[in-house]
Structure 1
Amino acid sequence: MRTTRFMLATALLASAASVPTTAAFSQMPSAGAITPSLTLKAAKAQYRPVRFEPAMPAASGTLVLPLTAEGDLATRASVLSDAERSAIQRALASAEFDYANPGSLTLRGIGNWDRIHVVGTGKDLSAAAVQKLGVMAGRALMKDKGPLVVLAGGLPAEAAAELATGMGIGEYRSDLYQAKAREAAPMAATTIVSDSAQAARALYEDRGKPLIDAMAFARDLSNEPANVVYPESFVERTRAAFAGVAGVTIEALDVPAMEKLGMGSILGSGRGSARPPRMLIVRYTGRSAPAYGPVVLAGKGITFDSGGISLKNGSGMGDMKFDMSGAASVVGAVLALARSRAPVDVVAIAALSENMPDGNAARPADVLQAMNGKTIEIISTDAEGRLVLADAVAYADAKLNPAAIVDVATLTGSIMTALGDDYAGLFSRHDPLADQLIMAGDASGDELWQMPLHPSYAEDTKSTIADIKNSGVSGAGAGAGAHFIGAFVKPETPWAHIDIAGMAWGGANDLKPAGATGYGVRLLERFVRDFQPVEKVAGK
C-alpha cells in the first residue's frame, strides 16, 4: 500500500503539479525582450569624503558638536573661541537643552560658522548608540553642501569612527531616479577632529566605510523597481559589487542547474514569471578563517510579489518590490565582511524569484517537491517566500556543512502585528545560536525579539496530501512560517529564522529616507564576526 501511494504521488508530481522543464522556461520571452526599461539607470548619489584630523580646520560650513554634559563645552569645544563657547552656552541654556537624552539643536549666527549643530549624546556611548547619533546627524545635514567639522575630542577612537560611519549611513538617498537632486554639486568633506585621529581613521577605513557601502548596496537593490532588479540582474549587480574583492567565489544556479538538484520548490514559485529564478551563492573565506565550516545566511529574494494566482489586493502592491530585502541584506552583510577582510568563513544564499500570475503559474492545491525530497502542498501562492527558502536552506544543509544557518525574510504580516517596527522576529530551535543573534542585534542597533517555536506548529502545517503545507494556519502565522522553513533543515543543524517584515522598509524619519532600511546588514555583519560554534544536536 505504501509503495502504491508513493508511486501515485510521484506520478502527480511528474504531471500537472511538477515544476516546469527547462524547455518550458526557454519558451518564455526573455527579460530583455519584455523589459525595454532595462536601460534605466539610477543617478549617482553624492557622498561626502571623510577625513580625520588632530586639529580643527578653519571655521567654515557646519560645526557638529556632540555633548554629553554642559561641561563638555570647556573640553570638547575648547578649540572654539571664548565668544563662541559663551554664545553656545547661552543658547543651550535658553532652550533648556537636555544633554541626557539624545537630541539636537541647530544654532546660527555664531562665529564664522553657517550653523552649529549641537548633538546631545545621552549617557549611552556604546557603538550602536554613537553610530545612531551619527546617522541622525548625517540625515539632518544632507542639504548642507559646505564642509562639516565634527568635534570628537575626548571620545575614544572607536566612538569617533562609529560617529563617522553613522553619518555616512545617514547620507544615503532613496531618490534613485531624481537625477537633478542626486547629481547636484558635490558635497564638501566631513572632517572628524579627534585626538585619536590616526586610530579612528584606521577603524573607519577597515570596517566603517565597507559597512556604509554595503548598506547602500542593499538599500539600492531593495529600492530599485522590479523592472530593473529581478533575479538575473540581482546576480549581475552582485558580481559587480564583489569584483576584485579577494577570497570571494560566486555561483548562480540557473533553471537547469536547479532542476538537476531537484529544487522544485523555488522553481515552482517562479513558474508564472517570464523572468526565471536564480539561486545565488556568494562565499567569502578570509585569511585565518576558522575551519569549522561556514556560517550560512539565506535570504528571501522575491524581486516582486504579486501574490501569484492568490493575487494580492492592488493597494500597496508596489511595496512588494521590497520583498527581496532579505536577500539584499545577506549579500550586503557578506559584502561588508569581504571588503573589510574579516577573518571569517561565510556564505550568502539569495533565493531569487518573481511571483507572478499567468497560465503556467503554480496554483493552490498544487504539490511541489523541494531539494531534500519533502513534498509541499500549496495552499496559497502568496506564501511563496518560504518556498524559495526551503530549497535555499536545504541546499546549505546538504552541500555546505554549515556551522549554522540563519535565514532572513520579509515573511509575514503577523510579525508586524506582534512586534511593529521596533524589532524583527527571531525563531530558533537552538537557544545558544539565538543568544548570539540577540547580542549582535543589541550591539549593532538592528534589534531582535525571540518568538516561540511551539510544537503545535508541526501539527498545524500538516497536509493531507503532502508532507507539509505552505499556509492555511490560523493564528500564529509568523511561527508557522518559521516552522515551515525549519522543516527543511536537519534538526541537529543550528538554525534560526529572522522575520524582517516590519523592519525592511517604511516612510522617512530621522534615521532614514523613505524606502528600504537595509535592516540586517549591520546585524549579520556583527553576528558573523563574533560567531562562536554551536553544538550540533537536535534543537528543542
Structure 2
Amino acid sequence: MNISLVLEKPTSSLVIRLFTSGQEPGDQPFFKAEKNELWWPGEQELWLGLGKVPSTITYLKVLRLLFHKRKDRWPSRLTLDARALSAEQLGAALNGILLGGYNVQLYKSDPKPVSTFFGERGELFVWTSEVLPEGQRAVDKARHTAEVQARVMDLMNAPGNKKPPRVLAEWALESGRQHKYRVTVLDQAALKAMGMHALLSVSRGSAEPPVMILTEHTPESYQKTVVLVGKGVTFDTGGISIKPSANMHLMKSDMGGAAAVLGTVELAARLQLPVRVVGVIPATENCVDGDSTKPGDVIDSYAGKTIEVIDTDAEGRLILADGLSYGAQTYQPDVLIDLATLTGSVVQTLGYAAAGLFTANDDLAAQLRQAAERTGEKLWPLPLWDDYKEEIASDIADVRNYHGKPLAGAIVAAKFLEVFTNEHPTWAHLDIAGVAFGDTEFTPNRAGTAFGVRLLTDFLENL
C-alpha cells in the first residue's frame, strides 16, 4: 500500500471522515457519531463515529475494526480526512488501517481474497491541512510498526510444528540481515559449554534442540542499554506435569514474550532509536519423553544456583532464569525487563484486559505505566514483597520453581525470577499471559495480539 500526504481531496476516491459525538454535522438527524457507528452520506464519503471522548487508542481500534470487517470490499484508492488530527492521532489511525488488512489464513490452500487496497497497488491518501515533517514521521512509524506487528502475529498464530526453536532463530537472523542489527544464535553445544542448565533441562523431552537467540540494535551514539528477555517456549505440553488436552493446542502461544522481544528489537532498528536494545530469547519446546526432567529433580542454572523442580509445567521461569542471569551479567544494562506468558494466575487476577507488572523500582513502574497509557497496552502493578519469598524456599536446593498452592501464583513466579536478576536495581517482569493471545477481530477463535511491541517501543522512545 502506498501512503501519500496530500493537501487537496483527490478525485475518484472514497473519503473516510472521523467524528466525535457532539461534533457531527448538524444537517442530518441520523448519525450521532457513537463509537464504531457508520454513515454513508453519499457514494464517495463514509463517516465513522469515535464516541464522546476518544483517546488516541480509539482511533487505532475503530479504524482497525472497520477495515478488517470490510477487508475484502475496499476500493483500491481511499482517502483519510486527517485535517483535524494530531501527528499522534494520525499515527494511531494509520496503524489501525494497516493492521485491518491482517490475514490470519496462514496455511489455507485456498484463502479468501482481500482487497487490492492492502497490496502493492493500493493507495491511501492522507488529506491534511499542511504537510509537515512530523506528519511524514507518523506515516513512516505507523507503517513500520504495523509491519512488525503483523510479522509477530504470524509467529504467534503459527502452530508448534511450524515454529520450533530453530525457526525462531532463522526468523531473527533474516530480520537482522534485512534491518542491519546483530543476531547471534547459541546452539545446544554452546548452551552446554556455557552452563545454561535450566534451559537445557526444559528441552530434554523434545527432539527439537533448544537455542538462545541474542539480538542487538546498537546505534552510533547512545546513553543507555536496555536488555529485554522473552520466554520462547514454542510449544508447551507441561512436560511430565502434563496439561489437560482440552486447550493444549493453544500452547503454541507460549512464546508470546519471545515474539514481543523479537519484534521490539526489529522495530527499534527500523526506527533507528537512540538506545542500545538487546534481546535475549531462550527458546525450547516443553515435551514429554523418557528423558524429560521429572518433578522433584534438582537442576543447575547459569547463575550457579540450584533449583528443585516441583512442577515441570512451571518451565517458563526456568528458561527465563538462565536468560535473565545471562542478560544481566553479560550486558550490564541500565534497564532489565522480561516478558512471558508465565502464569494462569495473572489471568485470574486481571482477566484479559491487562498484563501484570512486577518491579521494586517506582520510577521504572511509572515509566512503563505511562507507556501503557499512551499505547493502550495496559499494565497493572502487583506486589513483589519479601512476604512471598518463603514460597520458593526449598529443603534440598537453593530455590524451588513452584509453591504448589492455589494462591499468589503470579507473584510467587515473579519472586522466583527475582533470584536470577543479579539484584538488578532496575528490573521489571511483565506477565502477559492474559493479553498476548486472546479474542481479536482477526478470527472467531483466539489469536496473537503482538502485545508488547508498541508498549516497549514507546518506553524506549521516552527513556
Normalised to the residue count of structure 1, the TM-score between the two structures is 0.80
**d(CA) in 2 for partners of 1:447, 1:250:** 30
The residue type equivalent to 1:472 in the other structure is H
Secondary structure at the counterpart of residue 286 of structure 1: coil
Per the TM alignment, residue 144 of structure 1 is displaced from its structure 2 partner at its CA by 2.3
Say whether residues 1:235 and 2:164 are aligned partners.
Answer: no
Per the TM alignment, residue 193 of structure 1 is displaced from its structure 2 partner at its CA by 1.1
Alignment of 1:86-485 (within 5 A): 89-90=27-28, 93-95=29-31, 97=32, 99=33, 103-108=35-40, 110-113=41-44, 116-126=46-56, 128-146=57-75, 147-181=77-111, 184=114, 186-187=116-117, 188-199=122-133, 201-246=135-180, 248-290=181-223, 292=224, 294-474=225-405, 475-485=407-417
The residue type equivalent to 1:55 in the other structure is E
- Encode CA deviations 1:233-289: one digit per residue, 9 max, x unaligned: 11101222232323x111111111111211100000000000011110101012322
8 Å CA contact 2:20–2:54 kept in 1: the answer is: no
Name the residue aligned to 1:45: none
Query: Judging changes above 3 Å, is the alpha-carbon distance between structure 1 residues 476 and 71 closer, same or farther for their aligned structure 2 residues?
Result: closer
Partner of residue 2 from structure 2, selected from 46, 49, 56: 49
Per the TM alignment, residue 68 of structure 1 is displaced from its structure 2 partner at its CA by 2.2
The residue type equivalent to 1:145 in the other structure is W
Per the TM alignment, residue 205 of structure 1 is displaced from its structure 2 partner at its CA by 4.4
8 Å CA contact 2:306–2:399 kept in 1: the answer is: yes
Query: Judging changes above 3 Å, is the alpha-carbon distance between structure 1 residues 134 and 111 closer, same or farther for their aligned structure 2 residues?
Result: closer
Name the residue aligned to 1:507: 439
**d(CA) in 1 for partners of 2:252, 2:442:** 23
The residue type equivalent to 1:52 in the other structure is L
Secondary structure at the counterpart of residue 143 of structure 1: coil
Per the TM alignment, residue 159 of structure 1 is displaced from its structure 2 partner at its CA by 2.2
8 Å CA contact 2:22–2:52 kept in 1: the answer is: no
8 Å CA contact 2:80–2:125 kept in 1: the answer is: yes
Secondary structure at the counterpart of residue 351 of structure 1: strand
8 Å CA contact 1:397–1:493 kept in 2: the answer is: no
**Any unmatched runs of 5+ in structure 1?**
1-47, 74-85, 532-540
Name the residue aligned to 2:429: 497
**d(CA) in 2 for partners of 1:492, 1:51:** 46
Alignment of 1:12-23 (within 5 A): none
- Encode CA deviations 1:125-177: one digit per residue, 9 max, x unaligned: 44x34333332333233232313221111222332233112211232222212
**d(CA) in 1 for partners of 2:444, 2:365:** 27
**d(CA) in 2 for partners of 1:516, 1:154:** 32
Query: Judging changes above 3 Å, is the alpha-carbon distance between structure 1 residues 510 and 184 closer, same or farther for their aligned structure 2 residues?
Result: closer
Secondary structure at the counterpart of residue 227 of structure 2: strand
Q: CA RMSD in A?
A: 2.1
- Encode CA deviations 1:5-46: one digit per residue, 9 max, x unaligned: xxxxxxxxxxxxxxxxxxxxxxxxxxxxxxxxxxxxxxxxxx
Say whether residues 1:524 and 2:456 are aligned partners.
Answer: yes
Query: Judging changes above 3 Å, is the alpha-carbon distance between structure 1 residues 510 and 235 closer, same or farther for their aligned structure 2 residues?
Result: closer
8 Å CA contact 2:336–2:424 kept in 1: the answer is: no
8 Å CA contact 1:104–1:118 kept in 2: the answer is: yes
8 Å CA contact 1:473–1:480 kept in 2: the answer is: no
The residue type equivalent to 1:504 in the other structure is A
Per the TM alignment, residue 453 of structure 1 is displaced from its structure 2 partner at its CA by 1.1
**d(CA) in 2 for partners of 1:179, 1:59:** 35
Per the TM alignment, residue 70 of structure 1 is displaced from its structure 2 partner at its CA by 5.0
- Between 271-280 and 137-146, report the one with greater CA deviation: 137-146
**d(CA) in 1 for partners of 2:222, 2:187:** 29
Identity across the alignment (%): 32
**d(CA) in 1 for partners of 2:277, 2:81:** 37
**d(CA) in 1 for partners of 2:114, 2:141:** 28
Per the TM alignment, residue 124 of structure 1 is displaced from its structure 2 partner at its CA by 3.7
The residue type equivalent to 1:448 in the other structure is L
**Any unmatched runs of 5+ in structure 2?**
none
Aligned length, in residue pairs: 457
Say whether residues 1:64 and 2:16 are aligned partners.
Answer: yes
**d(CA) in 2 for partners of 1:491, 1:258:** 23
Name the residue aligned to 1:486: 418
Name the residue aligned to 1:38: none
The residue type equivalent to 1:68 in the other structure is T
8 Å CA contact 2:176–2:182 kept in 1: the answer is: no
**d(CA) in 2 for partners of 1:259, 1:63:** 60
**d(CA) in 2 for partners of 1:201, 1:230:** 40
Name the residue aligned to 1:6: none
- Between 395-404 and 192-201, report the one with greater CA deviation: 192-201
- Encode CA deviations 1:431-465: one digit per residue, 9 max, x unaligned: 21111111111111101000001212210111111
Per the TM alignment, residue 347 of structure 1 is displaced from its structure 2 partner at its CA by 0.7
**d(CA) in 2 for partners of 1:356, 1:510:** 29
**d(CA) in 2 for partners of 1:273, 1:451:** 34
